[in-house]
Chains A and B, each alone.
Chain A
Amino acid sequence: MPARVADKLLYLLAAGILLLQLAACSEAPEGSESNTSGSVYRHSMDGAPRSLDPAQASSIYANMLVVNLYDTLYRYKYLARPYQLAPNLAEALPQVSSDGLIYTIRIRPGVYFVDDPAFPGSKGRVVTAEDFVYSLKRHFDPATRAQGAWLWQNRIVGLDQWKEDGSDYDREVPGLRALDEHTVQIQLISPFPQLTHTLAQGFSAIVPREAVQHYGREFPIHPVGSGPYQLEGFNSSSAVLLRNTKFRQQPFSLEEEGYDPETQSYAGLEHLEGKPPPFTDRVEVEFVAEDAARWNAFISGETDFIKVPVTQFDQVLSARDPPVLTAEMAEQFQLAANLESGFVHTDFNMDDRRIGYHPNPDQDARNKALRCAIIKAFDWQKRNEVFYYGIGKVFPGIIPPVSIEYDPAQNSGFNDRDLAGAKKLLRDSGWHAGNLPELEYGFPSSVTERQMFEQLRSFLADIDYPAEKIRPLTFATYGDYARAYLNREVMLTTIGWTMDYPDAENTMQLFYGPNSSPGSNSANYNNPEFNRLYRASATMPPSPMRTSMYRSMNRILLEDCVTISGIARTLILLWNRDLAMLPDRSFVGGFFFRFVDTGTGAAGSSKNEASRQ
């Protein structure tokens, strides 16, 4: 029979596959807990960093790793909410002169960089004040391709001029000096109360000059820092961090970290009191952009932590407000439902005469009426329900709920759908289906973004905005989209803004006139009163008066109908019950890795009550 040959071939192959499978099951993979000495925490992230150079740590993902590989002068307290600053490499919070212009910071002595071939004899040396000065200067050296310079631009005396003069590292900057081996002094041009916050960001992490020079262009993949971990491996799908055995021994204090037993006892952290972090020997970070793969890896126990994809919320939660885990999930996992430190908003391009500012006052008023009508037609409840599982927090304007300046009592009428009001506005301003302008809604190509566009189109259909006049403007990548809106080519731009520090100044600057595109004011909004208030409040330390000014600015913005805003997403974080930790994706960010304890889980404590209730 001729078929016999083919059949034999098939049987042979099947037997081969079976043998391979048996052999596969006989050896545990490297890196699995069974053959890795010491404790391992396996973290998953929904994106990957491309560079581990602090000067390029602009993404959440890069920042997460950078603050573990390097030291920053300050960090955020692990447990305190609202977020509070704490000294990290600095000995204490800065001494600030009475005029708020001079900051003096003492660095802890005896802190060492990790051993690396970049140093003589490959032995890491002591971290000094000069290293901090050097690290900040790098942001103003064009060769670094730094992404954090905006934090200190026009803030520090002489730093911008230093760049103008050619970025010569051997030239001193008057406002950025090492007074001695362990003392830094920063002199500001004008008060900048958020300065200390900027020194808690990955951007300000301290790098040794020798390593930058030794590795040259490849420095971003050869981190040499003094943080709690050092890099063992890094590629496009994972990073492995090992405990820095030379990391300073500072005992963990629940009180100093802002521990609240009422709300945080479920995490089982008490036994860590007095022990020096990091508590885990090895951190494996998996970069998994695909929701399904990330979820599968978590549910099969390959990772210990996940930011749950919205598509899995149904499976994970038995109640939404507040989010509660299903009984089955609660047996295995812990839950934290954190509001993001930012918000999603859709801005009108005020530079576009079809919808924004117009030299003719009548047309200008009509454009404003049109924007206001669109805002009134926007159905936040539906947006929240469809895209954020109904657990996002809708709020009016640009002071997100995570910010201390947020006003929970503020009239949310701005976010209530008012179709009759919207139609009246259009009618009164002479708009009708025939003369309404074509709206161009820009977004980077993705199914979700497309669905959001279609939903907006359906909202506007309810005020008789012709569907054919609302056009999608799709871009292949986020970079293309950014190029378009930074060049003021997009009429409606949707942006998710993550705050850099817990101070609403960071969101106010998004609408400050001089920050117009290519700056972060992608709405190109320019209101003299808003600008005046911003300038006045920008130099003020936190106070009731400053909060009141922020809220006034928020109201101006709402009344000018510049942005459809906003919603802060609720992040559902799950982690293995055997771990003692409280994860954070916000300002604490990667700083929490050092406090993760895999040895003594919290499974036996009363912790799970919180997530079950």
Chain B
Amino acid sequence: MKPLLRKLLQGLLLILGVTLISFLLMVWFGPDQTYTLIGKNASAEQIEQIHQQLGYDQPFFKRYLDYLASLATLDLGTSNASGEQVKKILMRTVPVSLALMIPGFILGNLLGIALGLSAASHHGQWRDRLISGLSVGGMSISFLVVIIAFQVLLSTPYGLDLFPVRGWQVSGFGSYLQYVTVPTLALVFVTLGYNTRFYRAVFIEESGKDHIRTARAYGASHTEILWKHVLKNSMVPIVTRVMFSIPLVVISGSLLIESYFGIPGIGLATFEAITSGDQPVLKAVVGLTAVAFVAIQVLSEMLYRLLDPRVS
């Protein structure tokens, strides 16, 4: 239990650090929303009034403590742009982002593991070189280009015109698949290169270890070696990568996708909050992401023990 408690304590410090730095950035370098909320011909007095209403005139540490209190009580306030409660925004947008990102995330990792295994088991041969080359190629293409290319190829009359270009009018599983397919393929395409390279490296390292050589010497089959020894013993780095990708996938990973595919998820809401300086929304997203990181860190710690008895 002790290490878990230590992780929890470290996590709390991490939350404090992340929230403090991000709040500092928001206050000192973020957009001043006053100037997007004033009308034309505003007087200095009106500007000051909005400034006060947004709480910008309060001392920094008071604002920071209010922020921490709002996180602790989950009373996240309301958006300065739309007036909507931040909690409602999150409840409305996070499920959409999860539904959007999970298929691509799972597929990207499974395919990455499969390709990584395939490359590792043919280490140095043409298949390995082909997979590695394609991975580097995939990594080199900008996400934006991939999104536009997939849109054009799969969703417009210039291409196959099979799926909707954008939107999220989901009413059942069929319509869900219609809207999620192209974003998922774009996401898989972009992440596959990174995933494959990472998993390949992990598997190659594991394949070269003494216990694999010993197993081979004892006549274990290749399948057995791959499944029982390489894959199983690589689970710690795999779990680490998967778990720590989750918060990023939910928030920042979906930003471009949601924007280009017109999907009303948390990525789009965050992007709008960043550009307009909508601090209540931003503070909630940053704070909750930090909390999610800590929770995942603790969860990962527990999973490590389950997967590898050597972890104490």
Q: Closest B-chain residue to A300, C-beta based?
A: B156
A480 and B32 contacting across the interface, CB-CB below 8 Å: yes
B122 and A515 contacting across the interface, CB-CB below 8 Å: no
B164 and A29 contacting across the interface, CB-CB below 8 Å: yes
Residue B177 is within 8 A (CB to CB) of chain A in the complex: yes
Residue B255 is within 8 A (CB to CB) of chain A in the complex: no
B157 and A299 contacting across the interface, CB-CB below 8 Å: yes
Identify which of B34, B83, B115, B166 contacts A288 (C-beta below 8 A): B166
Residue B263 is within 8 A (CB to CB) of chain A in the complex: yes
Identify which of A20, A153, A300, A482 contacts B36 (C-beta below 8 A): A482
Identify which of B50, B85, B262 contacts A237 (C-beta below 8 A): B262
CB-defined contacts of B294 to chain A, threshold 8 Å: none
Given contacts A24-B163, A218-B85, A518-B43, contact A477 B277 (CB under 8 A): yes
B118 and A3 contacting across the interface, CB-CB below 8 Å: yes
A292 and B148 contacting across the interface, CB-CB below 8 Å: yes
B169 and A30 contacting across the interface, CB-CB below 8 Å: yes
CB-defined contacts of B166 to chain A, threshold 8 Å: 237, 286, 288, 293, 296-297, 302
CB-defined contacts of B28 to chain A, threshold 8 Å: none
Residue A601 is within 8 A (CB to CB) of chain B in the complex: no
Complex formed: what's the CA distance from A9 to B277 in Å?
46
Q: B203-221 interface mask toward A, CB cutoff 8 Å, 1 = contact, 0 = none?
A: 0000000000000000000
Q: Closest A-chain residue to B278, C-beta based?
A: A50
Residue A287 is within 8 A (CB to CB) of chain B in the complex: yes
Q: B249-283 interface mask toward A, CB cutoff 8 Å, 1 = contact, 0 = none?
A: 00000000011111110001100100111000000
Complex formed: what's the CA distance from A32 to B178 in Å?
12
Residue A196 is within 8 A (CB to CB) of chain B in the complex: no
Q: B23-39 interface mask toward A, CB cutoff 8 Å, 1 = contact, 0 = none?
A: 00000000111111111
Interface segment out of the listed A141-149, A350-358, A527-535: A141-149
A29 and B111 contacting across the interface, CB-CB below 8 Å: no
Q: Closest B-chain residue to A301, C-beta based?
A: B157
Complex formed: what's the CA distance from A27 to B175 in Å?
6
Chain B, 33-49, CB within 8 A of any chain A CB = 33-44, 46-47, 49
Chain A, 2-42, CB within 8 A of any chain B CB = 2-7, 9-10, 13, 17, 20-21, 23-32
CB-defined contacts of B53 to chain A, threshold 8 Å: 142, 145
Complex formed: what's the CA distance from A169 to B179 in Å?
48
A50 and B276 contacting across the interface, CB-CB below 8 Å: yes
A482 and B177 contacting across the interface, CB-CB below 8 Å: no
Report B116 CB to chain A, min CB distance, Å: 8
Residue B152 is within 8 A (CB to CB) of chain A in the complex: yes
Chain A, 506-529, CB within 8 A of any chain B CB = 509, 515, 518-520
CB-defined contacts of A31 to chain B, threshold 8 Å: 167, 169
Residue A213 is within 8 A (CB to CB) of chain B in the complex: no
CB-defined contacts of B156 to chain A, threshold 8 Å: 296, 299-300
Residue A219 is within 8 A (CB to CB) of chain B in the complex: yes
Residue B82 is within 8 A (CB to CB) of chain A in the complex: yes
A292 and B151 contacting across the interface, CB-CB below 8 Å: yes
Identify which of B34, B46, B268 contacts A483 (C-beta below 8 A): B34
Residue A536 is within 8 A (CB to CB) of chain B in the complex: no
Interface segment out of the listed B4-12, B14-22, B64-72, B223-231: B223-231
Given contacts A482-B35, A482-B36, contact A13 B114 (CB under 8 A): yes
CB-defined contacts of A302 to chain B, threshold 8 Å: 164-167
B151 and A293 contacting across the interface, CB-CB below 8 Å: yes
Complex formed: what's the CA distance from A29 to B81 in Å?
30
CB-defined contacts of A290 to chain B, threshold 8 Å: 259-260
Complex formed: what's the CA distance from A235 to B262 in Å?
10
A293 and B118 contacting across the interface, CB-CB below 8 Å: no
A479 and B33 contacting across the interface, CB-CB below 8 Å: yes
Q: Closest A-chain residue to B111, C-beta based?
A: A13
Given contacts A20-B177, A220-B83, A296-B156, contact A10 B31 (CB under 8 A): no
B263 and A237 contacting across the interface, CB-CB below 8 Å: yes
Chain B contributes a number of interface residues (CB within 8 A of A) equal to: 81
B34 and A237 contacting across the interface, CB-CB below 8 Å: no
CB-defined contacts of B263 to chain A, threshold 8 Å: 237
Residue B172 is within 8 A (CB to CB) of chain A in the complex: yes
**B interface, by DSSP: helix, strand, loop or mixed?**
helix
Residue B117 is within 8 A (CB to CB) of chain A in the complex: yes
Q: Closest A-chain residue to B125, C-beta based?
A: A3
Given contacts A302-B164, A478-B36, contact A288 B78 (CB under 8 A): no
CB-defined contacts of B57 to chain A, threshold 8 Å: none
CB-defined contacts of A509 to chain B, threshold 8 Å: 41
Chain A, 468-488, CB within 8 A of any chain B CB = 476-480, 482-483, 486
Residue A198 is within 8 A (CB to CB) of chain B in the complex: no
Chain B, 170-226, CB within 8 A of any chain A CB = 170-175, 177-179, 181, 222-223, 225-226
Complex formed: what's the CA distance from A486 to B181 in Å?
46
Report A96 CB to chain B, min CB distance, Å: 24
B260 and A147 contacting across the interface, CB-CB below 8 Å: no
Complex formed: what's the CA distance from A483 to B36 in Å?
9
CB-defined contacts of A486 to chain B, threshold 8 Å: 35, 42, 47
CB-defined contacts of A292 to chain B, threshold 8 Å: 148, 151, 260
Identify which of A13, A218, A236, A483 contacts B272 (C-beta below 8 A): A236
CB-defined contacts of B157 to chain A, threshold 8 Å: 299-300
Question: What is the count of residue pairs linking A and B with beta-carbon distances less than 8 angstroms?
Answer: 215
Complex formed: what's the CA distance from A368 to B268 in Å?
46
B277 and A27 contacting across the interface, CB-CB below 8 Å: no
B223 and A4 contacting across the interface, CB-CB below 8 Å: yes
A3 and B276 contacting across the interface, CB-CB below 8 Å: no
Complex formed: what's the CA distance from A32 to B171 in Å?
11
Complex formed: what's the CA distance from A20 to B175 in Å?
11
Identify which of B152, B178, B269 contacts A296 (C-beta below 8 A): B152
Residue A539 is within 8 A (CB to CB) of chain B in the complex: no
A50 and B81 contacting across the interface, CB-CB below 8 Å: yes
B178 and A24 contacting across the interface, CB-CB below 8 Å: yes
Residue A104 is within 8 A (CB to CB) of chain B in the complex: no
B31 and A27 contacting across the interface, CB-CB below 8 Å: no
Residue A554 is within 8 A (CB to CB) of chain B in the complex: no
Complex formed: what's the CA distance from A393 to B131 in Å?
55
CB-defined contacts of A236 to chain B, threshold 8 Å: 264, 268-269, 272
Identify which of A221, A288, A476 contacts B262 (C-beta below 8 A): A288
CB-defined contacts of B47 to chain A, threshold 8 Å: 486, 518
Report A148 CB to chain B, min CB distance, Å: 6
Residue A289 is within 8 A (CB to CB) of chain B in the complex: yes
Report A11 CB to chain B, min CB distance, Å: 9
B178 and A29 contacting across the interface, CB-CB below 8 Å: yes
B167 and A296 contacting across the interface, CB-CB below 8 Å: no
Residue B127 is within 8 A (CB to CB) of chain A in the complex: yes
Of the listed residues B53, B166, B178, B226, the one surrounded by the most CB atoms of chain A closer than 10 A to its CB is: B166
CB-defined contacts of A146 to chain B, threshold 8 Å: 39
CB-defined contacts of A153 to chain B, threshold 8 Å: 41
Identify which of B163, B165, B173 contacts A293 (C-beta below 8 A): B165
Residue B161 is within 8 A (CB to CB) of chain A in the complex: yes
Report B127 CB to chain A, min CB distance, Å: 7
Q: B75-88 interface mask toward A, CB cutoff 8 Å, 1 = contact, 0 = none?
A: 00010011111000
Complex formed: what's the CA distance from A3 to B225 in Å?
11
Given contacts A13-B110, A23-B174, contact A479 B276 (CB under 8 A): yes
Q: Can you show 8 pairs from A to B with CB atoms below 8 A apart?
A: A25-B162, A237-B263, A293-B151, A293-B165, A302-B164, A480-B32, A518-B42, A518-B43
Binding site for B on A (CB under 8 A): 1-7, 9-10, 13, 17, 20-21, 23-32, 48, 50-51, 53, 56, 58, 142, 145-150, 153, 216-221, 235-238, 286-290, 292-293, 296-297, 299-300, 302, 476-480, 482-483, 486, 509, 515, 518-520
Q: Given A51-B83, A53-B83, A296-B156, list of 19 further CB < 8 A pairs? A: A3-B127, A9-B110, A58-B40, A142-B49, A217-B83, A218-B78, A218-B85, A220-B82, A220-B84, A236-B272, A237-B268, A238-B262, A293-B148, A299-B156, A300-B156, A300-B165, A302-B167, A518-B44, A520-B40
A-B complex: 6 closest residue pairs judged by Cβ atoms: A27-B174, A2-B222, A147-B39, A24-B177, A30-B171, A6-B118
